[in-house]
């Protein structure tokens, strides 16, 4: 299943970033544990628990990675090429996809990605039933 619209209706809370790669100006995240709501127009009217997916940001023009080790101000991330592996929050604002969460459980990290658009290719998912 390919998702390429309404990023805000894809739920990444507690999802994992299993790997990160860069390819000719694109940024590729391999994701597990996401959720796609039946409210999304490309969900075929069903809720989906996503086991494996590739989140591709095409034509990335900027990436900024920061981390917090105190409550005063963020610092440049020591591993900017793979700044977090557990996603807690995601949003899209002012042309930036913003991820926040943890890398190896600590500290709090933030990752800002400016991209022309995204493609979320789901390779393994199960219909979710509560």
Q: What is this structure's pTM?
A: 0.92
Q: Which two tokens stand for residue 56?
A: 């591709």
- What letters, b where the CB count within 10 A reaches 16 and e where it falls short, cover 4-21? eeebebbbbeebbbeebe
Tens of pLDDT along 24-59? Answer: 999 999 999 999 999 999 999 999 999 999 999 999
Could you give the dihedral angle defined by the CA atoms of residues 125, 5, 23 and 48, in that order, rounded to the nearest 10 degrees?
A: -10
Tens of pLDDT along 91-112? Answer: 999 999 999 999 988 779 999 9
pLDDT at position 59: 96
> Helix, strand, or coil here: 130?
coil
Question: What gap in Å lies between CA 124 and CA 89, rounded to an integer?
Answer: 22
């Amino acid at each position: 299943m390919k998702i390429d619209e309404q990023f805000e209706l894809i739920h990444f809370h507690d999802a994992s970033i299993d790997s990160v790669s860069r390819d000719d100006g694109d940024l590729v995240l391999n994701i597990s544990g996401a959720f796609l709501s039946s409210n999304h127009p490309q969900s075929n009217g069903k809720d989906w628990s996503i086991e494996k997916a590739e989140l591709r940001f095409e034509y990335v023009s900027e990436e900024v990675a920061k981390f917090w080790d105190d409550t005063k101000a963020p610092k440049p991330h020591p591993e900017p090429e793979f700044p977090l592996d557990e996603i807690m929050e995601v949003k899209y604002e002012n042309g930036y996809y913003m991820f926040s969460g943890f890398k190896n459980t600590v500290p709090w990290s933030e990752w800002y990605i400016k991209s022309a658009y995204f493609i979320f290719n789901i390779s393994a998912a199960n219909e979710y039933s509560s």
